[in-house]
Structure 1
Amino acid sequence: MKNLMKHLQEKYHYAVVVFKELVKTDFQLRYQGSFLGMVWSVLKPLMLFGVMYVIFVRFLKFTDGTPTFAISLLCGTCLWSFFTESTTMGLSSIVNRGDLLRKVHFPNYIVVAATNTGALISLGLGLIVVILFGAFSGAHFTWRVLLVPFSIIQLYCLALGVSLVLATLYVYFRDIAQIWEVLLQALFYSIPIIYPLSMVARSYPIVAKLMMLNPIAQPIMDIRHNLLSPEYVPTVWTNTADLGGAIDTPDVPAEWQWLNSPCLNILPYLFTVLVLWLGIHLFRKYSQKFAEVL
């Protein structure tokens, strides 16, 4: 066992050192020349939350009336910002580090993983603010907060898988950046972040069930449920298993009864694993030619 540990340490020591330096450099360069520096990691999602709250909650009345909707909106904004930042920056990470890849030999995937980890640090700072705000806005902290790290890991793995796919495609097809920007907008409005799921479920219960099977929506809703409000925030487990449980909706038509199967609850997790595997597979297959193409 000692020999095995020593072998692994020697084999991956250089990769770990490079990974740490890339994470540190990326995080520092992100705010280089900025007066507020790393404060933007907290200030940016707060400003975005403020805009969404005023427009969608105060004016358009996109609220379910629960006391934790505002803090749930802030939490969802931070989580979505993480996914957007990690995939957008991960998309161009290989191209941006082209000079380094041609000069220094190290596993290319470290570049993408370092970018995602930098976004994860920003998410951590944002969630600290969410917890502080939640303490003064009626959030109900229970033992379920212990489950939050698992959902964050799942969201990170999903973002990493998507980033690996996008980074691979971007080396060969630069148009993928514009396509992904449009897709992100579509994904944002397909997830109950700025509006409550109950708003959709009242008129379109089938759509609400399918929305919760989205592998991006599922960890976001799980984190909000476990961190802030187990009573008010539905999850794939409470919503998909029983439409009449977590949210008040009409009966499902007979032809859609298969959606009530508990087996569907694991689909977001399986899709996350599939996306991560696909990202690793594509990246490993084409990464050897990155230096030549760049």
Structure 2
Amino acid sequence: MSQSNIDAQPELIIEAGRAERQYWKDLWRYRELFYFLAWRDILVRYKQTAIGMAWALIRPFLTMVVFSVVFGNLAKLPSEGVPYPILVFAAMLPWQFFANSLSECSNSLIGNANLISKVYFPRLIVPTSAVVVSFVDFMISGIILLGLMAWYNFVPSWRILTLPFFILIAFAASMGVGLWLASLNVKYRDFRYIVPFIVQFGLYISPVGFSSNIVPEKWRSLYSLNPMVGVIDGFRWAILGGKSSIYLPGFMISIGFVVLLFISGIWYFRKVERTFADVI
């Protein structure tokens, strides 16, 4: 190559700290990558499965049946004046979304190691796309709730209009915990064994198969430190209408903890993000 051709080449200036200053703008600039990752994960999840997306219906439906039999028929726990399957599934929807998000987020960075180690883009796109994939399952599972309402001739009240607000809280809870687990799993691979335990344990200590109203009032505030308590109570309040009530002090504690998890999750993720390419 001649000297004149070399001189004609445009200069590439790498400005220190530019990625930090442009990070949130880059999230929007790389939105097509976000769409690609989310769509790819949806296709991979159901590719070569015999019944496809029906799995998003079967898993929560079978869990709902088991909980309805154990807690509703055998334990005879109160159902707040609504059919027990509806009580359970109103909680199963946000819980399944939360549990799937944790599982997908925790492995999202490891699963995209080749991409992360070779190309610059805001790494926050990866776990966020994993949560969105879980939200697709959430939307599909909502078909079961509609079917249960039709079966039992249950008509929701005006409170159902507030459901998007509680969905937003569920999304924040999923993102907050998911970002922590995704970050920690890069450095400490043991977390891939801990996450299934967290999900399984959380299912039993969250008010999925029963109403949180059965928890003694002296323990309600402590119990509400579980971020999913406020989310589940909110879903039931919105879906069951006047049949359900919210313990306001506990709800505020739970939502406050969700906000703390969300903010701290983003903070920690951003703090360790620059090391991902080296560690992976």
Using structure 1 for the length normalisation, give the TM-score: 0.80
Q: One-letter code of the match for 2:273?
A: S
Is the 2:26–2:121 contact (alpha carbons within 8 Å) kept by the matching residues of 1?
no
- Mapped to 2, the partners of 1:187 and 1:111 lie a distance apart of 24
Which residue in 2 is equivalent to 1:289? 275
Aligned partner (choices 174, 181, 190) of residue 205 of structure 2: 190
Per-residue CA deviations over 1:230-266 (Å, capped at 9, x if unaligned) read 22223233xx4xxxxxxxxxxxxxxxxxxxxxxx653
**Amino acid of the structure 2 residue aligned with 1:143:** W
Is structure 2 residue 122 aligned with structure 1 residue 107? yes
With over 3 angstroms needed to count, the CA separation of the structure-2 counterparts of 1:289 and 1:43, relative to structure 1, is same
CA deviations on 1:174-212 (whole Å, 9 max, x unpaired) are 112333333333322222211223433xxx321235434
Q: 1:74 aligns with which of 89, 105, 112?
A: 89
Cα distance in 1 between the residues matched to 2:25 and 2:198? 42
The CA distance in 2 between the partners of 1:278 and 1:65, in whole Å, is: 35
**What secondary structure sits across from 1:231 in the alignment?**
helix
Q: Which amino acid is the alignment partner of residue 70 of structure 1?
A: P
Asked if 1:279 is matched to 2:270, the reply is no
Matched, 1:18 2:4: no
For the structure 1 residues 32 and 49, does the alpha-carbon distance in structure 2 shift closer, same or farther, using more than 3 Å as the test?
Answer: same
Length, aligned pairs only = 259
**Greater relative CO (CA pairs within 8 A, separation 6+):** 2
Deviation, 1:78, is: 2.3
- d(CA) in 2 for partners of 1:86, 1:63: 30
For 2:150 and 2:236, the matched residues in 1 are separated by: 14
CA distance in 2, matches of 1:184, 1:11: 32
After superposing the two structures, state which structure 1 stretch, 52-61 or 91-100, moved more: 52-61
What TM-score does the superposition give when structure 2 sets the normalisation length? 0.84
Query: CA 1:54 to 1:286, structure 2 compared with 1: closer, same or farther past 3 Å?
Result: same
Distance in 2 of aligned mates of 1:270 and 1:171:
27
Shift of 1:162: 0.6
Amino acid at match of 2:241: P
Q: Within 5 A, what are the aligned runs for 1:207-286? A: 207-212=219-224, 214-227=226-239, 229-237=240-248, 240=249, 265-286=251-272
Question: What amino acid maps onto 2:94 in structure 1?
Answer: L
The answer to whether the aligner puts 1:59 opposite 2:74 as a matched pair is yes
**Match of residue 177, structure 1, among 186, 189, 192:** 192
**Aligned pair in 2 of structure 1 residues 109, 32: CA closer, same or farther (>3 Å)?**
same
2:51 to 36, 56, 60: 36
Shift of 1:165: 0.6
Q: Structure 2: which 5+ runs fail to align? A: 1-21
Identity across matched positions, percent: 25
How many Å separate the matches in 1 of 2:275 and 2:23?
A: 26
Asked if the contact 2:79–2:211 (Cα under 8 Å) also holds between the matched residues in 1, the reply is yes
